[in-house]
Structure 1
Amino acid sequence: MATATIFRMKTPQHICPYGIKSKDLLRRKGFKVEDHLLKNRTQTDAFKQEHGVDTTPQTFIDGKRIGGYDELQDYFGEAKPGSDTSYTPVIAIFSVTFLAALALYLNPAPFTGFASLISGFVALSMIVLGIQKLQDLEGFSLQFITYDLLGMHYPRYANVYAFLEVFAGLGMLAQAPAWLVAPPAAFIGTLGAVSVFKAVYIDKRELKCACVGGDSKVPLGFVSLTENLMMIAMAVWMVLR
Protein backbone atom coordinates (compact mmCIF):
# COMPACT_ATOMS: atom_id res chain seq x y z
CA MET A 1 0.00 0.00 0.00
CA ALA A 2 1.35 3.41 -1.01
CA THR A 3 1.98 5.90 1.78
CA ALA A 4 1.20 9.61 1.86
CA THR A 5 2.15 12.12 4.53
CA ILE A 6 -0.10 15.00 5.46
CA PHE A 7 0.55 17.95 7.75
CA ARG A 8 -2.65 19.63 8.91
CA MET A 9 -3.74 22.02 11.61
CA LYS A 10 -5.76 20.71 14.55
CA THR A 11 -5.87 22.83 17.69
CA PRO A 12 -8.37 22.91 20.58
CA GLN A 13 -10.11 25.82 18.86
CA HIS A 14 -9.62 25.05 15.16
CA ILE A 15 -9.79 21.94 12.99
CA CYS A 16 -8.90 22.61 9.36
CA PRO A 17 -11.69 21.25 7.11
CA TYR A 18 -9.37 21.01 4.12
CA GLY A 19 -7.05 18.82 6.18
CA ILE A 20 -9.94 16.48 6.93
CA LYS A 21 -10.93 16.39 3.26
CA SER A 22 -7.34 15.78 2.13
CA LYS A 23 -6.97 12.85 4.52
CA ASP A 24 -10.28 11.37 3.40
CA LEU A 25 -9.37 11.73 -0.30
CA LEU A 26 -6.04 9.95 0.25
CA ARG A 27 -7.72 7.09 2.06
CA ARG A 28 -10.32 6.72 -0.69
CA LYS A 29 -7.48 6.51 -3.21
CA GLY A 30 -5.97 3.62 -1.29
CA PHE A 31 -3.13 5.40 0.50
CA LYS A 32 -1.90 4.67 3.98
CA VAL A 33 -1.87 8.11 5.59
CA GLU A 34 0.79 9.33 7.99
CA ASP A 35 -1.16 12.07 9.72
CA HIS A 36 0.94 14.82 11.34
CA LEU A 37 -1.05 17.30 13.40
CA LEU A 38 0.11 20.89 13.86
CA LYS A 39 -1.32 21.50 17.31
CA ASN A 40 -0.70 25.21 17.74
CA ARG A 41 0.09 28.37 15.81
CA THR A 42 3.81 28.15 16.60
CA GLN A 43 4.10 24.68 15.07
CA THR A 44 2.06 25.75 12.06
CA ASP A 45 4.16 28.86 11.38
CA ALA A 46 7.40 26.88 11.79
CA PHE A 47 6.17 24.28 9.29
CA LYS A 48 5.19 26.94 6.75
CA GLN A 49 8.57 28.64 7.05
CA GLU A 50 10.49 25.35 6.76
CA HIS A 51 8.70 24.31 3.56
CA GLY A 52 8.17 27.77 2.07
CA VAL A 53 4.38 27.51 1.94
CA ASP A 54 1.63 29.92 2.90
CA THR A 55 -1.11 27.49 3.87
CA THR A 56 -1.85 24.12 5.39
CA PRO A 57 -2.67 21.30 4.90
CA GLN A 58 0.25 20.09 2.84
CA THR A 59 0.44 16.56 1.42
CA PHE A 60 3.58 14.67 0.41
CA ILE A 61 3.57 11.55 -1.80
CA ASP A 62 6.82 9.63 -2.41
CA GLY A 63 8.69 12.49 -0.78
CA LYS A 64 7.30 15.03 -3.25
CA ARG A 65 5.16 17.87 -2.01
CA ILE A 66 1.78 17.83 -3.74
CA GLY A 67 0.31 20.83 -1.93
CA GLY A 68 -3.05 21.65 -0.41
CA TYR A 69 -6.49 20.16 -0.99
CA ASP A 70 -6.99 21.81 -4.40
CA GLU A 71 -3.61 20.55 -5.61
CA LEU A 72 -4.39 17.09 -4.27
CA GLN A 73 -7.63 17.05 -6.24
CA ASP A 74 -5.68 18.07 -9.35
CA TYR A 75 -3.15 15.31 -8.67
CA PHE A 76 -5.90 12.68 -8.70
CA GLY A 77 -7.82 14.31 -11.54
CA GLU A 78 -10.88 14.93 -9.41
CA ALA A 79 -13.46 17.50 -10.48
CA LYS A 80 -13.79 20.53 -8.22
CA PRO A 81 -17.05 22.30 -7.35
CA GLY A 82 -17.59 24.97 -9.97
CA SER A 83 -17.01 28.59 -9.06
CA ASP A 84 -18.94 29.94 -12.06
CA THR A 85 -22.69 30.32 -12.43
CA SER A 86 -24.73 27.34 -11.26
CA TYR A 87 -28.33 26.22 -11.30
CA THR A 88 -27.81 24.02 -8.22
CA PRO A 89 -29.61 26.35 -5.77
CA VAL A 90 -32.63 26.66 -8.07
CA ILE A 91 -32.74 22.91 -8.67
CA ALA A 92 -32.53 22.25 -4.92
CA ILE A 93 -35.36 24.67 -4.11
CA PHE A 94 -37.84 23.56 -6.76
CA SER A 95 -37.06 19.85 -6.52
CA VAL A 96 -37.60 19.74 -2.77
CA THR A 97 -40.66 22.01 -2.78
CA PHE A 98 -42.24 19.78 -5.45
CA LEU A 99 -41.55 16.75 -3.26
CA ALA A 100 -43.09 18.59 -0.29
CA ALA A 101 -46.23 19.30 -2.34
CA LEU A 102 -46.29 15.63 -3.38
CA ALA A 103 -45.95 14.57 0.27
CA LEU A 104 -48.96 16.67 1.20
CA TYR A 105 -50.89 15.27 -1.74
CA LEU A 106 -50.11 11.70 -0.65
CA ASN A 107 -50.87 12.37 3.02
CA PRO A 108 -53.69 9.96 3.91
CA ALA A 109 -55.15 12.29 6.54
CA PRO A 110 -55.54 16.08 6.59
CA PHE A 111 -53.57 18.15 9.11
CA THR A 112 -56.03 19.13 11.83
CA GLY A 113 -55.59 20.02 15.48
CA PHE A 114 -52.70 21.42 17.50
CA ALA A 115 -50.57 18.24 17.25
CA SER A 116 -50.81 18.39 13.47
CA LEU A 117 -49.80 22.06 13.55
CA ILE A 118 -46.64 21.26 15.54
CA SER A 119 -45.73 18.23 13.43
CA GLY A 120 -46.25 20.25 10.25
CA PHE A 121 -44.06 23.03 11.62
CA VAL A 122 -41.26 20.59 12.51
CA ALA A 123 -41.49 18.81 9.14
CA LEU A 124 -41.42 22.04 7.13
CA SER A 125 -38.56 23.39 9.26
CA MET A 126 -36.48 20.29 8.48
CA ILE A 127 -37.28 20.58 4.79
CA VAL A 128 -36.33 24.26 4.62
CA LEU A 129 -33.12 23.70 6.59
CA GLY A 130 -32.30 20.82 4.25
CA ILE A 131 -32.84 23.04 1.21
CA GLN A 132 -30.42 25.57 2.68
CA LYS A 133 -27.75 22.87 2.86
CA LEU A 134 -28.47 21.35 -0.57
CA GLN A 135 -28.00 24.71 -2.30
CA ASP A 136 -24.28 24.54 -1.49
CA LEU A 137 -23.22 21.13 -0.21
CA GLU A 138 -19.52 21.96 -0.40
CA GLY A 139 -19.92 25.12 1.69
CA PHE A 140 -22.09 23.27 4.21
CA SER A 141 -19.57 20.42 4.42
CA LEU A 142 -16.62 22.73 5.16
CA GLN A 143 -18.33 23.97 8.33
CA PHE A 144 -20.11 20.75 9.30
CA ILE A 145 -17.04 18.46 9.34
CA THR A 146 -15.19 20.68 11.80
CA TYR A 147 -17.52 19.69 14.64
CA ASP A 148 -19.63 16.67 13.68
CA LEU A 149 -18.15 13.54 15.27
CA LEU A 150 -18.84 11.34 12.25
CA GLY A 151 -18.19 14.01 9.63
CA MET A 152 -14.67 14.55 10.98
CA HIS A 153 -13.76 10.99 9.95
CA TYR A 154 -16.04 10.61 6.94
CA PRO A 155 -16.56 14.03 5.30
CA ARG A 156 -19.05 12.64 2.77
CA TYR A 157 -21.44 12.07 5.68
CA ALA A 158 -22.18 15.81 5.42
CA ASN A 159 -23.96 15.14 2.11
CA VAL A 160 -25.81 12.19 3.61
CA TYR A 161 -26.93 14.35 6.54
CA ALA A 162 -28.45 16.99 4.26
CA PHE A 163 -30.41 14.48 2.19
CA LEU A 164 -31.59 12.52 5.24
CA GLU A 165 -32.83 15.72 6.87
CA VAL A 166 -34.97 16.47 3.82
CA PHE A 167 -36.11 12.84 3.66
CA ALA A 168 -37.19 12.90 7.31
CA GLY A 169 -39.14 16.13 6.84
CA LEU A 170 -40.88 14.85 3.71
CA GLY A 171 -41.68 11.55 5.42
CA MET A 172 -43.28 13.31 8.35
CA LEU A 173 -45.24 15.62 6.04
CA ALA A 174 -46.58 12.61 4.13
CA GLN A 175 -47.19 10.66 7.36
CA ALA A 176 -45.03 7.84 5.99
CA PRO A 177 -44.56 4.66 8.08
CA ALA A 178 -42.52 5.27 11.23
CA TRP A 179 -40.18 2.35 10.48
CA LEU A 180 -39.11 4.14 7.31
CA VAL A 181 -38.64 7.69 8.60
CA ALA A 182 -37.96 7.49 12.34
CA PRO A 183 -34.61 5.58 12.27
CA PRO A 184 -32.70 8.02 9.99
CA ALA A 185 -34.21 11.03 11.79
CA ALA A 186 -33.23 9.61 15.19
CA PHE A 187 -29.74 8.71 13.98
CA ILE A 188 -28.74 12.06 12.50
CA GLY A 189 -30.56 13.97 15.25
CA THR A 190 -28.88 12.11 18.11
CA LEU A 191 -25.41 12.17 16.57
CA GLY A 192 -25.82 15.83 15.67
CA ALA A 193 -26.97 16.81 19.16
CA VAL A 194 -24.06 14.98 20.80
CA SER A 195 -21.59 16.57 18.37
CA VAL A 196 -22.86 20.10 18.98
CA PHE A 197 -23.02 19.64 22.75
CA LYS A 198 -19.44 18.35 22.84
CA ALA A 199 -18.05 21.10 20.59
CA VAL A 200 -19.82 23.99 22.32
CA TYR A 201 -20.38 23.03 25.93
CA ILE A 202 -17.49 20.65 26.62
CA ASP A 203 -14.68 21.72 24.27
CA LYS A 204 -15.81 25.38 24.45
CA ARG A 205 -15.10 25.94 20.77
CA GLU A 206 -16.41 29.06 19.05
CA LEU A 207 -17.71 27.87 15.71
CA LYS A 208 -20.21 28.92 13.08
CA CYS A 209 -23.32 26.77 12.70
CA ALA A 210 -23.73 24.85 9.44
CA CYS A 211 -27.43 24.37 10.22
CA VAL A 212 -28.58 26.95 7.66
CA GLY A 213 -26.02 26.05 5.01
CA GLY A 214 -22.52 27.15 4.07
CA ASP A 215 -20.99 30.50 5.02
CA SER A 216 -23.42 30.86 7.90
CA LYS A 217 -22.69 33.58 10.46
CA VAL A 218 -24.95 31.94 13.05
CA PRO A 219 -22.88 30.81 16.06
CA LEU A 220 -22.91 27.08 16.72
CA GLY A 221 -24.98 26.26 19.77
CA PHE A 222 -28.65 26.68 20.55
CA VAL A 223 -29.95 26.80 16.95
CA SER A 224 -28.14 23.68 15.75
CA LEU A 225 -28.85 21.83 18.98
CA THR A 226 -32.54 22.68 18.65
CA GLU A 227 -32.53 21.47 15.03
CA ASN A 228 -31.18 18.08 16.07
CA LEU A 229 -33.46 17.78 19.10
CA MET A 230 -36.43 18.50 16.83
CA MET A 231 -35.42 15.56 14.64
CA ILE A 232 -35.20 13.30 17.68
CA ALA A 233 -38.63 14.50 18.84
CA MET A 234 -39.96 13.91 15.31
CA ALA A 235 -38.72 10.32 15.37
CA VAL A 236 -40.23 9.65 18.79
CA TRP A 237 -43.55 11.24 17.82
CA MET A 238 -43.80 9.15 14.65
CA VAL A 239 -43.20 5.94 16.60
CA LEU A 240 -45.74 6.85 19.29
CA ARG A 241 -48.28 7.94 16.69
Structure 2
Amino acid sequence: MTGDPRTKTATLYRMVMPQHICPFGIKALDLLRRRGFTVEDRWLTTRAEQDAFKAEHDVKTTPQIFIDGRRIGGYDDLRRHFALKVRDPQATSYTPVIAVFAVAALIALAINMLTATPLIGLVGAGRFIAISMMLLAMLKLQDIERFATMFIGYDLLARRYLPYAHAYPFLELGAGALMLAGVLPIVSIPVALVIGGIGAVSVFRAVYVERRTLKCACVGGSGNVPLGFVSLTENVMMVVMALAMTLAISGTISMN
Protein backbone atom coordinates (compact mmCIF):
# COMPACT_ATOMS: atom_id res chain seq x y z
CA MET A 1 0.00 0.00 0.00
CA THR A 2 1.45 3.37 -1.00
CA GLY A 3 0.62 6.93 -0.18
CA ASP A 4 -1.09 8.39 2.86
CA PRO A 5 -4.21 6.36 3.80
CA ARG A 6 -5.86 9.52 5.09
CA THR A 7 -6.10 10.89 1.56
CA LYS A 8 -7.65 7.73 0.13
CA THR A 9 -11.22 6.74 -0.44
CA ALA A 10 -12.77 3.30 -0.43
CA THR A 11 -15.98 1.84 -1.76
CA LEU A 12 -17.74 -0.78 0.30
CA TYR A 13 -20.50 -3.02 -1.03
CA ARG A 14 -22.35 -4.79 1.77
CA MET A 15 -25.63 -6.55 2.42
CA VAL A 16 -28.20 -4.45 4.28
CA MET A 17 -31.62 -6.07 4.19
CA PRO A 18 -34.64 -5.85 6.51
CA GLN A 19 -34.01 -9.38 7.80
CA HIS A 20 -30.22 -9.38 7.71
CA ILE A 21 -27.37 -6.90 8.01
CA CYS A 22 -23.99 -8.41 7.24
CA PRO A 23 -21.78 -8.17 10.37
CA PHE A 24 -18.60 -8.37 8.31
CA GLY A 25 -19.77 -5.39 6.31
CA ILE A 26 -20.10 -3.39 9.53
CA LYS A 27 -16.65 -4.55 10.66
CA ALA A 28 -15.14 -3.61 7.29
CA LEU A 29 -16.73 -0.15 7.45
CA ASP A 30 -15.37 0.40 10.95
CA LEU A 31 -11.87 -0.77 10.00
CA LEU A 32 -11.73 1.48 6.96
CA ARG A 33 -12.84 4.52 8.95
CA ARG A 34 -10.36 3.78 11.72
CA ARG A 35 -7.67 3.70 9.04
CA GLY A 36 -8.65 7.19 7.96
CA PHE A 37 -10.55 6.31 4.78
CA THR A 38 -13.52 8.16 3.43
CA VAL A 39 -15.93 5.35 2.67
CA GLU A 40 -18.58 5.25 -0.04
CA ASP A 41 -20.96 2.85 1.66
CA ARG A 42 -23.12 1.11 -0.95
CA TRP A 43 -25.91 -1.11 0.29
CA LEU A 44 -27.17 -4.25 -1.43
CA THR A 45 -30.74 -4.26 -0.20
CA THR A 46 -32.23 -7.22 -2.08
CA ARG A 47 -31.16 -10.71 -3.09
CA ALA A 48 -31.42 -9.68 -6.71
CA GLU A 49 -29.00 -6.79 -6.16
CA GLN A 50 -26.59 -9.04 -4.32
CA ASP A 51 -26.70 -11.76 -7.00
CA ALA A 52 -26.22 -9.20 -9.75
CA PHE A 53 -23.24 -7.68 -7.94
CA LYS A 54 -21.63 -11.10 -7.44
CA ALA A 55 -22.10 -11.97 -11.09
CA GLU A 56 -20.74 -8.63 -12.28
CA HIS A 57 -17.56 -8.85 -10.20
CA ASP A 58 -17.22 -12.64 -10.27
CA VAL A 59 -17.19 -12.99 -6.48
CA LYS A 60 -18.90 -15.47 -4.20
CA THR A 61 -19.40 -13.39 -1.07
CA THR A 62 -20.00 -9.91 0.23
CA PRO A 63 -18.89 -7.52 1.58
CA GLN A 64 -16.45 -6.43 -1.08
CA ILE A 65 -14.07 -3.53 -0.67
CA PHE A 66 -12.52 -1.43 -3.42
CA ILE A 67 -9.68 1.01 -2.76
CA ASP A 68 -8.72 3.47 -5.49
CA GLY A 69 -10.76 1.43 -7.93
CA ARG A 70 -8.93 -1.82 -7.14
CA ARG A 71 -10.86 -4.67 -5.58
CA ILE A 72 -9.33 -5.73 -2.28
CA GLY A 73 -11.84 -8.47 -1.47
CA GLY A 74 -13.80 -9.30 1.67
CA TYR A 75 -13.20 -8.44 5.31
CA ASP A 76 -10.36 -10.93 5.81
CA ASP A 77 -8.71 -9.69 2.63
CA LEU A 78 -8.99 -6.14 3.93
CA ARG A 79 -7.24 -7.14 7.15
CA ARG A 80 -4.46 -8.77 5.13
CA HIS A 81 -4.22 -5.58 3.04
CA PHE A 82 -3.49 -3.69 6.25
CA ALA A 83 -1.08 -6.42 7.42
CA LEU A 84 -3.41 -7.33 10.28
CA LYS A 85 -3.82 -10.81 11.72
CA VAL A 86 -6.59 -12.97 10.26
CA ARG A 87 -8.10 -15.58 12.56
CA ASP A 88 -7.52 -19.18 11.56
CA PRO A 89 -10.45 -21.29 12.86
CA GLN A 90 -8.19 -24.36 12.84
CA ALA A 91 -5.36 -22.74 14.79
CA THR A 92 -4.49 -23.83 18.31
CA SER A 93 -5.91 -21.45 20.89
CA TYR A 94 -5.66 -21.41 24.67
CA THR A 95 -8.05 -18.46 24.94
CA PRO A 96 -11.03 -20.53 26.21
CA VAL A 97 -8.90 -22.06 28.95
CA ILE A 98 -7.42 -18.72 30.00
CA ALA A 99 -10.93 -17.24 30.08
CA VAL A 100 -12.26 -20.09 32.26
CA PHE A 101 -9.47 -19.87 34.82
CA ALA A 102 -9.52 -16.06 34.89
CA VAL A 103 -13.29 -15.94 35.44
CA ALA A 104 -13.08 -18.72 38.04
CA ALA A 105 -10.41 -16.75 39.92
CA LEU A 106 -12.50 -13.57 39.87
CA ILE A 107 -15.62 -15.38 41.09
CA ALA A 108 -13.65 -17.06 43.86
CA LEU A 109 -12.19 -13.71 44.94
CA ALA A 110 -15.65 -12.12 44.89
CA ILE A 111 -17.07 -14.92 47.07
CA ASN A 112 -14.13 -14.56 49.46
CA MET A 113 -14.80 -10.84 49.80
CA LEU A 114 -18.52 -11.39 50.36
CA THR A 115 -17.85 -13.98 53.05
CA ALA A 116 -14.97 -12.11 54.71
CA THR A 117 -12.59 -14.93 53.77
CA PRO A 118 -8.87 -14.25 53.23
CA LEU A 119 -8.35 -13.59 49.53
CA ILE A 120 -5.45 -16.04 49.37
CA GLY A 121 -5.62 -19.33 51.22
CA LEU A 122 -6.84 -22.92 51.07
CA VAL A 123 -10.50 -21.91 51.09
CA GLY A 124 -9.99 -19.55 48.16
CA ALA A 125 -7.97 -22.15 46.27
CA GLY A 126 -10.70 -24.73 46.86
CA ARG A 127 -13.36 -22.37 45.59
CA PHE A 128 -11.27 -21.60 42.52
CA ILE A 129 -10.96 -25.30 41.70
CA ALA A 130 -14.65 -25.98 42.26
CA ILE A 131 -15.72 -23.03 40.11
CA SER A 132 -13.25 -24.03 37.38
CA MET A 133 -14.77 -27.50 37.34
CA MET A 134 -18.25 -26.06 36.94
CA LEU A 135 -17.23 -23.68 34.14
CA LEU A 136 -15.38 -26.40 32.25
CA ALA A 137 -18.41 -28.68 32.62
CA MET A 138 -20.61 -25.91 31.22
CA LEU A 139 -18.45 -25.72 28.10
CA LYS A 140 -18.72 -29.47 27.63
CA LEU A 141 -22.50 -29.38 28.02
CA GLN A 142 -22.88 -26.89 25.15
CA ASP A 143 -22.49 -29.79 22.71
CA ILE A 144 -22.30 -32.99 24.69
CA GLU A 145 -22.26 -35.26 21.63
CA ARG A 146 -19.28 -33.47 20.16
CA PHE A 147 -17.53 -33.55 23.51
CA ALA A 148 -18.19 -37.27 23.91
CA THR A 149 -16.81 -38.00 20.44
CA MET A 150 -13.52 -36.28 21.29
CA PHE A 151 -13.43 -37.68 24.81
CA ILE A 152 -13.61 -41.34 23.80
CA GLY A 153 -10.56 -40.76 21.64
CA TYR A 154 -8.32 -40.89 24.71
CA ASP A 155 -10.26 -41.57 27.94
CA LEU A 156 -9.69 -45.16 29.06
CA LEU A 157 -13.05 -45.64 30.78
CA ALA A 158 -15.11 -43.90 28.09
CA ARG A 159 -13.66 -46.25 25.48
CA ARG A 160 -14.94 -49.28 27.40
CA TYR A 161 -18.21 -47.77 28.64
CA LEU A 162 -19.60 -45.13 26.26
CA PRO A 163 -22.31 -43.75 28.62
CA TYR A 164 -19.48 -42.48 30.84
CA ALA A 165 -18.51 -40.00 28.12
CA HIS A 166 -22.01 -38.48 28.26
CA ALA A 167 -22.13 -38.59 32.06
CA TYR A 168 -18.73 -36.99 32.61
CA PRO A 169 -19.79 -33.31 32.28
CA PHE A 170 -22.67 -33.87 34.71
CA LEU A 171 -20.38 -35.62 37.18
CA GLU A 172 -17.84 -32.80 36.96
CA LEU A 173 -20.53 -30.14 37.33
CA GLY A 174 -22.17 -31.89 40.27
CA ALA A 175 -18.91 -32.52 42.10
CA GLY A 176 -17.85 -28.91 41.60
CA ALA A 177 -21.18 -27.56 42.86
CA LEU A 178 -21.12 -29.76 45.97
CA MET A 179 -17.51 -28.82 46.70
CA LEU A 180 -18.26 -25.12 46.31
CA ALA A 181 -21.27 -25.41 48.63
CA GLY A 182 -19.33 -27.58 51.09
CA VAL A 183 -22.07 -30.20 51.27
CA LEU A 184 -22.25 -33.96 50.73
CA PRO A 185 -18.49 -34.59 50.65
CA ILE A 186 -19.34 -38.30 50.79
CA VAL A 187 -20.52 -37.85 47.18
CA SER A 188 -18.25 -35.14 45.77
CA ILE A 189 -14.95 -36.58 47.00
CA PRO A 190 -15.31 -40.05 45.42
CA VAL A 191 -16.66 -38.57 42.17
CA ALA A 192 -13.77 -36.10 41.88
CA LEU A 193 -11.21 -38.78 42.73
CA VAL A 194 -12.58 -41.23 40.18
CA ILE A 195 -13.10 -38.92 37.21
CA GLY A 196 -9.97 -36.90 37.96
CA GLY A 197 -7.81 -39.95 38.51
CA ILE A 198 -8.98 -41.79 35.40
CA GLY A 199 -8.70 -38.59 33.38
CA ALA A 200 -5.15 -37.87 34.53
CA VAL A 201 -3.98 -41.41 33.75
CA SER A 202 -5.72 -41.33 30.35
CA VAL A 203 -4.18 -38.02 29.31
CA PHE A 204 -0.71 -38.97 30.55
CA ARG A 205 -0.84 -42.25 28.67
CA ALA A 206 -2.15 -40.74 25.42
CA VAL A 207 0.22 -37.76 25.33
CA TYR A 208 3.38 -38.72 27.17
CA VAL A 209 3.50 -42.49 26.67
CA GLU A 210 1.80 -43.11 23.31
CA ARG A 211 2.88 -39.68 21.96
CA ARG A 212 -0.46 -39.08 20.29
CA THR A 213 -1.47 -35.67 18.95
CA LEU A 214 -5.10 -35.03 19.87
CA LYS A 215 -7.42 -32.17 20.64
CA CYS A 216 -8.45 -31.76 24.24
CA ALA A 217 -12.14 -32.17 25.05
CA CYS A 218 -11.67 -30.19 28.28
CA VAL A 219 -13.31 -27.02 26.88
CA GLY A 220 -15.95 -28.85 24.87
CA GLY A 221 -15.94 -30.35 21.43
CA SER A 222 -15.47 -27.06 19.58
CA GLY A 223 -12.14 -26.11 21.16
CA ASN A 224 -8.74 -26.20 19.48
CA VAL A 225 -6.73 -26.82 22.63
CA PRO A 226 -4.17 -29.62 22.21
CA LEU A 227 -4.49 -32.52 24.60
CA GLY A 228 -1.80 -32.32 27.23
CA PHE A 229 -0.98 -29.94 30.05
CA VAL A 230 -4.39 -28.24 30.25
CA SER A 231 -6.44 -31.42 30.51
CA LEU A 232 -3.91 -32.96 32.86
CA THR A 233 -4.15 -29.86 35.06
CA GLU A 234 -7.95 -30.07 35.08
CA ASN A 235 -7.87 -33.66 36.30
CA VAL A 236 -5.06 -33.15 38.80
CA MET A 237 -6.96 -30.19 40.31
CA MET A 238 -9.96 -32.42 40.93
CA VAL A 239 -7.82 -35.07 42.61
CA VAL A 240 -6.00 -32.47 44.74
CA MET A 241 -9.29 -30.90 45.80
CA ALA A 242 -10.75 -34.27 46.74
CA LEU A 243 -7.65 -35.23 48.74
CA ALA A 244 -7.58 -31.85 50.50
CA MET A 245 -11.23 -32.23 51.49
CA THR A 246 -10.53 -35.74 52.77
CA LEU A 247 -7.64 -34.47 54.90
CA ALA A 248 -9.77 -31.58 56.17
CA ILE A 249 -12.55 -33.94 57.22
CA SER A 250 -10.05 -36.17 59.01
CA GLY A 251 -8.65 -33.13 60.83
CA THR A 252 -5.21 -33.38 59.26
CA ILE A 253 -5.46 -29.92 57.69
CA SER A 254 -7.80 -26.97 58.09
CA MET A 255 -9.66 -25.51 55.14
CA ASN A 256 -10.56 -22.37 57.12
So what's the TM-score if we normalise by structure 2?
0.51
Q: 2:144 aligns with which of 110, 124, 137?
A: 137
Q: Counterpart of 1:125? A: 132
Q: 1:152 aligns with which of 159, 170, 194?
A: 159
- Unaligned residue ranges in structure 2 (runs of 5+): 1-106, 249-256
Closer/same/farther in 2, CA of residues 155 and 207 from structure 1, 3 Å limit = same
Instruction: Tell me the number of residue pairs that the alignment of Structure 1 and Structure 2 aligns.
Output: 136
Aligned equivalents of 1:221, 1:191: Cα separation in 2: 14
Whether the aligned pair in 2 keeps the contact of 1:209 and 1:221 (CA below 8 Å) is yes
**Superposed displacement of residue 158, structure 1:** 1.0
- Unaligned residue ranges in structure 1 (runs of 5+): 1-100
Q: Counterpart of 2:187? A: 180
**Superposed displacement of residue 215, structure 1:** 2.3
Aligned equivalents of 1:142, 1:215: Cα separation in 2: 11
Aligned equivalents of 1:198, 1:236: Cα separation in 2: 22
Aligned equivalents of 2:243, 2:155: Cα separation in 1: 22
Structure with higher RCO (Cα < 8 A, 6+ apart): 1
Aligned equivalents of 1:185, 1:111: Cα separation in 2: 27
Q: What SS is found at the alignment partner of 1:224?
A: helix
Aligned equivalents of 1:173, 1:111: Cα separation in 2: 16
**Superposed displacement of residue 159, structure 1:** 1.4
Aligned equivalents of 1:111, 1:202: Cα separation in 2: 45
Identity across aligned pairs (percent)? 51
Q: Counterpart of 1:229? A: 236
**Superposed displacement of residue 156, structure 1:** 1.6
> Once superposed, what is the RMSD of the aligned Cα atoms?
2.1
So what's the TM-score if we normalise by structure 1?
0.54
For the pair shown, the structure with the greater C-alpha radius of gyration is 2
**Superposed displacement of residue 177, structure 1:** 3.2
Moved over 3 A (4+): none
Q: Does 1:112 align with 2:101?
A: no
Q: What SS is found at the alignment partner of 1:216?
A: coil
Q: Does 1:168 align with 2:175?
A: yes
**Superposed displacement of residue 226, structure 1:** 0.2
Q: Counterpart of 2:205? A: 198
Aligned equivalents of 1:195, 1:144: Cα separation in 2: 10
